[in-house]
Amino acid sequence: MEKKYLGPEKIIDKKKEYLIPCSYHFYSNPPQIVKGDMQYLFDSSGKRYIDFFSGVSVMNCGHCNPEILEKTIEQMKTLQHTTTIFLTEPIVSLAEKLAEATPGSLKRSFFCGTGSEANEGAMLLAKLYTGNNEFIALNLGLHGRTHLTISVTGIGMWRTDPFPAGGVHFAPNPYCYRCPYKSVNDECGMECVQAVENVIKNHTSGRVAAMIAETIQGNGGIITPPKNYFKELKNVLDKWEIPLIIDEVQTGFARTGKMFAIEHYEVEPDIMTVAKALGNGVPIAAYITNDKIGKTFTKPSASTLGGNPVSAAAGIAVLEYIERHNLIKRAETLGKRLKDGLLKLKDKYSIIGDVRGIGLMLGAELVKENKEPATRETDIILEALKDRGIIIGKNGEYRNVLAFQPPLVISEEDIDSLIIELDNVLENVTI
């Protein structure tokens, strides 16, 4: 018997009636998504879409991946939940696997449900370790929707708390395409790192608990720092004895051609946060640190659902799938193919001002003359690609960056299809 669906119009009506109005959606004519199968999504009319967004970098291993589902459902049939007060095996097995997968001496994990929780917890841990209570963050960073994570978010549209926490200081981000210092890559003097030290010396009280930064700023517009940025930043922070919290919520788990994006920069963070792709659709997150910092958190604490048997089993299955199917190498190889295609389109169309990113976390910034953000045109392109069966994201301060973060199981043919369809769409966009 054919399943009947509400349909997009009725869903929108119910959203308006029953959801908090902050809930929004892409597209002027959105489809109702009803099914996922690896790199593909299907709507209520049966139309297939190639997914180049992965639910914001969540479905790295693909939608309804049968190997991951098998392990997750097997656990659901055995034991779903107890809280961490009771002993279960999946949570410690996942913690051990994360200790093996994360850079350097990162070893001790605290599990929770979302990236916001992980970042909030990481900042609490930094306070406990240092005895300090101020934070440094970057312009255009996004770290969550709790009080403190909103307060360290540097994108106006996401700073929804009218009374943000005090003691948060912002520094310029390494946004090379719009560098406020007018530097170019081969002549970059890392003024943005020098600016962080200026913030430490002149804007803070000297009692900084940590600096928090995404390796690549996702919602900020796939802002990708130059090669030496984090090394020089870490040198400054170490000089002032300030821990570095690296937010890998969007960039983690093979997305960039490394297990974690910070590995490209050969820097070991003091604390690292993960979420999204760790559960491949099952809510799970964690903050991870070394022995020295981790041992300072001794007062009782717990997350009721964090790392429960089901979510932990999903996390273990994800890590095993990434290794078994060599998704790190796939992201590197397919990311190069996608980036090369986007760069060719950049040469052809002046609306593409910049192509950036690493692996399969890529962005194309759309601009008019003199780098004016092409925000309206971005929406037109998103809608046109959706109509052609391709789903991508958009982000950036002005919502003018096309975001490409597909499942890492995507095929070469899917990437080639995207480039062909984007070429066709751009041919008909006037600026």
- pLDDT(1) > 70: no
Pairing of strands 401-404, 285-289: unpaired
Q: By C-alpha distance, which of 224, 235, 230 is closest to 265?
A: 230
User: How many whole angstroms separate alpha carbon 69 and alpha carbon 23?
Assistant: 28
Element (H, E) at 171: strand 168-171
- pLDDT(75) > 90: yes
User: What are the chain's domains?
Assistant: 86-325 (3.40.640.10)
- pLDDT(431) > 80: no
Q: Side by side, which strands form the sheet with 48-51?
A: 33-37, 40-43, 48-51, 390-391
Average pLDDT (190-205) is 96
Angle between helices 375-387 and 412-427 (to 10 degrees): 130
The dihedrals phi and psi of 210, each to the nearest 5 degrees, come to -175, 165
Q: Could you tell me what percent of the chain has a pLDDT over 90? A: 92
Angle between helices 309-324 and 89-101 (to 10 degrees): 40
The contacts of residue 391 (CB under 8 Å, 6+ apart) are 41, 49, 50, 51, 52, 53, 385
Per-residue pLDDT band for 185 (boundaries 50, 70, 90) equals low
Tokens of 313: 């089993």
The contacts of residue 270 (CB under 8 Å, 6+ apart) are 126, 210, 243, 244, 245, 289, 290, 293
**How confident is the model at residue 293, as a pLDDT?**
98
**How confident is the model at residue 24, as a pLDDT?**
83
Higher-confidence position of 155 and 1: 155
pLDDT digits (tens, 9 = 90+) for 410-428: 999 999 999 999 999 999 9
Average pLDDT (24-50) is 96
**How confident is the model at residue 234, as a pLDDT?**
98
Going from the C-alpha of 325 to that of each of 60, 320, 322, the distances in angstroms are 12, 8, 6
**How confident is the model at residue 44, as a pLDDT?**
96
The contacts of residue 135 (CB under 8 Å, 6+ apart) are 123, 126, 151, 152, 167, 168, 169, 208, 209, 210, 211, 212
How far is residue 90 CA from its own chain's centroid?
25
Q: Which of 51-65, 106-120, 177-191, 334-348 has the lowest mean pLDDT?
A: 177-191
Angle subtended at Cα 345 by Cα 343 and Cα 347, rounded to the nearest 5 degrees: 75
Q: Could you tell me what percent of the chain has a pLDDT over 70? A: 99
Q: Is 376 exposed, middle or buried (0-12, 13-18, 19+ CB in 10 A)?
A: middle
Q: Which of 89-103, 153-167, 267-281, 394-408 has the lowest mean pLDDT?
A: 153-167
Higher-confidence position of 214 and 300: 214
In eight-state DSSP terms, residue 223 is B
Pairing of strands 401-404, 393-395: antiparallel
- pLDDT(183) > 90: no
Average pLDDT (349-360) is 98
User: How many whole angstroms separate alpha carbon 334 and alpha carbon 68?
Assistant: 22
User: How many whole angstroms separate alpha carbon 78 and alpha carbon 288?
Assistant: 28
Average pLDDT (361-384) is 97
Tokens of 304: 């009721």
**How confident is the model at residue 2, as a pLDDT?**
72
Sign, CA torsion 47/50/56/62 = positive
Contact 400, 375 (CB under 8 A): yes
Which residues does residue 306 pair with via DSSP β-bridges, in sequence order?
none
- Across the chain, mean pLDDT equals 96
Average pLDDT (100-128) is 98
Average pLDDT (374-393) is 98
Average pLDDT (61-83) is 97
Q: Is 49 exposed, middle or buried (0-12, 13-18, 19+ CB in 10 A)?
A: buried
**How confident is the model at residue 370, as a pLDDT?**
92
